[in-house]
Amino acid sequence: MKIAVAGGGVAGSYFANLIKDAYEVAVFERQKCENFRAICAWGTSKHEMRRLAGRIGLNFDEYILHEGKEMIVKLPDEGEFSIKLKGLCTFNKKKFILDMHSRLKVYYGVDVKNAKLTNFDLIVDATGFHRALLPRIARDYYIPTVEYLVKYSSPPIEDFYLMPLTHLGGYLWYFPLSNNLAHVGVGDYFNRHREALNEFITRYPGEVIDIVGRPVRIAPPHLCNPIVSDGVVGLGESIGTVHPVIGEGIIPGMQCAELLARSVEEGVEQYPIKVLKSFSVFYTIFQFIRKVHNSSFNYLRDFRLLLSPYIYMKLREDRFGMKIRLKDWLRIVESYRKGRTATKI
């Protein structure tokens, strides 16, 4: 069986590595190898990443840049609290992906929209937000983001730092890397991301080395239909495997790749059902965040939805790399209820 993977991001590259010994697989990546970028804050949890990387013979610990101990959460109402971390880290995602590429046949500089991917038995759309080969999503939902790579002479913050924006539109993140570098970015459904990031950089100036930005799809797989169409199978963010509240897409994308790799062996007919089942919690969490965004959220009526992100993460503290407490979650949500609209840093 010959398989083409469109998009050599984390999900497509991982999938190709999982199946490369059993099938003939080729990866088509739009970016050039020498300029390859992994646009992301590079935050993840080491426990699950160790397992996933181990499956393809990589040692995840070699990629870790910073291991967190405590994350400060600064609330819009000026209050703050800290979350104990137990595995949350940043890692060199670009090197991780390029190391996965080094074991594959990768065609760089190929835009699959213009390429003729003939002679393949299966084509995988792993082009992330672009979803270059699958039909458009009827009602997409995404968060615009902007992120700076900043070099500090002396880092203003030692560890992970997060500032949720009002109305739970998104948050500002400061993720330390190594050598006094940090990824500082903001994603916000209500488009306040540039303003919020500029305020932060004015307060904590450093040398901005790189500026990137792209939307993150938070529409869950249930809304990313079709998942399979005309010989093309979706994988990763192209079919919405991103946590709708925290925007985490690395581990879910790789877990989706595991599902697809198993499905290739068993037949891809069942793959959409498996994806929907496996990521059904994202649909519930998405319903919560959408109600908050469009101001139809009601504490009493929607209490079950409110608890869904908390329960999901509480039951998987190692997987998310942090201690999850209900009172922290409620404090974040509370800042929404107070109805403040201005972003304050």
Ligand X SMILES: Cc1cc2nc3c(=O)[nH]c(=O)nc-3n(C[C@H](O)[C@H](O)[C@H](O)COP(=O)(O)OP(=O)(O)OC[C@H]3O[C@@H](n4cnc5c(N)ncnc54)[C@H](O)[C@@H]3O)c2cc1C
Look up residue 215 and give its DSSP letter: -
Interaction pattern, residues 31-70, with ligand X; x per rule: CB under 6 A = x-------xxxxxx--------------------------
Smallest distance from the beta carbon of 167 to ligand X, in angstroms?
20
Q: Which stretch binds ligand X (CB under 6 A): 126-134, 149-157, 294-302, 327-335?
A: 126-134
Q: Which residue has the tokens 């005309």?
A: 230
Angle between helices 10-19 and 250-266 (to 10 degrees): 30
CA dist list (Å): 104 to 12, 170, 335, 339, 340: 11, 36, 47, 51, 50
Distance of CA 58 to the CA centre of its chain: 21
Task: Name which of 37 and 338 has its Cβ closer to ligand X.
Answer: 37
Q: Which stretch binds ligand X (CB under 6 A): 66-74, 110-118, 295-303, 333-341?
A: 110-118
| Beta strands in the chain, from DSSP E residues, in sequence order | 2-6, 24-29, 43-45, 64-67, 70-74, 80-84, 88-91, 105-108, 122-125, 142-143, 145-151, 161-164, 170-176, 181-188, 207-212, 216-217, 228-229, 232-234
Task: Name which of 146 and 305 has its Cβ closer to ligand X.
Answer: 146
| Helix/strand/coil for 157 | coil
Query: What is the Cα–Cα distance from 119 to 225, expressed in whole angstroms?
Result: 25
Interaction pattern, residues 70-89, with ligand X; x per rule: CB under 6 A = --------------------
CA dist list (Å): 25 to 105, 107, 260, 305, 337: 7, 11, 14, 41, 50
Residue 111 binds ligand X, judged by CB under 6 A:
yes
Task: Name which of 65 and 75 has its Cβ closer to ligand X.
Answer: 65
Residue 277 binds ligand X, judged by CB under 6 A:
no
Range 197-256, binding ligand X (CB under 6 A): 214, 216, 236-237, 242, 247-250, 253
- Cβ-defined contacts of 323-330 (< 8 Å, 24+): 323/83, 323/84, 323/85, 323/86, 324/83, 325/83, 328/73, 328/81, 328/83
Smallest distance from the beta carbon of 223 to ligand X, in angstroms?
16
Q: Which stretch binds ligand X (CB under 6 A): 56-64, 104-112, 197-205, 258-266?
A: 104-112
Smallest distance from the beta carbon of 259 to ligand X, in angstroms?
13
Query: What is the Cα–Cα distance from 245 to 213, expressed in whole angstroms?
Result: 18
For ligand X (CB under 6 A), the number of binding residues is: 40
Distance of CA 108 to the CA centre of its chain: 23
Q: Of 4, 18, 75, 126, which one interacts with ligand X (CB under 6 A)? A: 126
Task: Name which of 155 and 213 has its Cβ closer to ligand X.
Answer: 213
Smallest distance from the beta carbon of 232 to ligand X, in angstroms?
13
Task: Name which of 58 and 132 has its Cβ closer to ligand X.
Answer: 132
Task: Name which of 206 and 221 has its Cβ closer to ligand X.
Answer: 221
Task: Name which of 206 and 253 has its Cβ closer to ligand X.
Answer: 253
Interface residue list for ligand X (CB under 6 A): 6-12, 28-31, 39-44, 110-113, 126-130, 132, 145, 147, 185, 214, 216, 236-237, 242, 247-250, 253
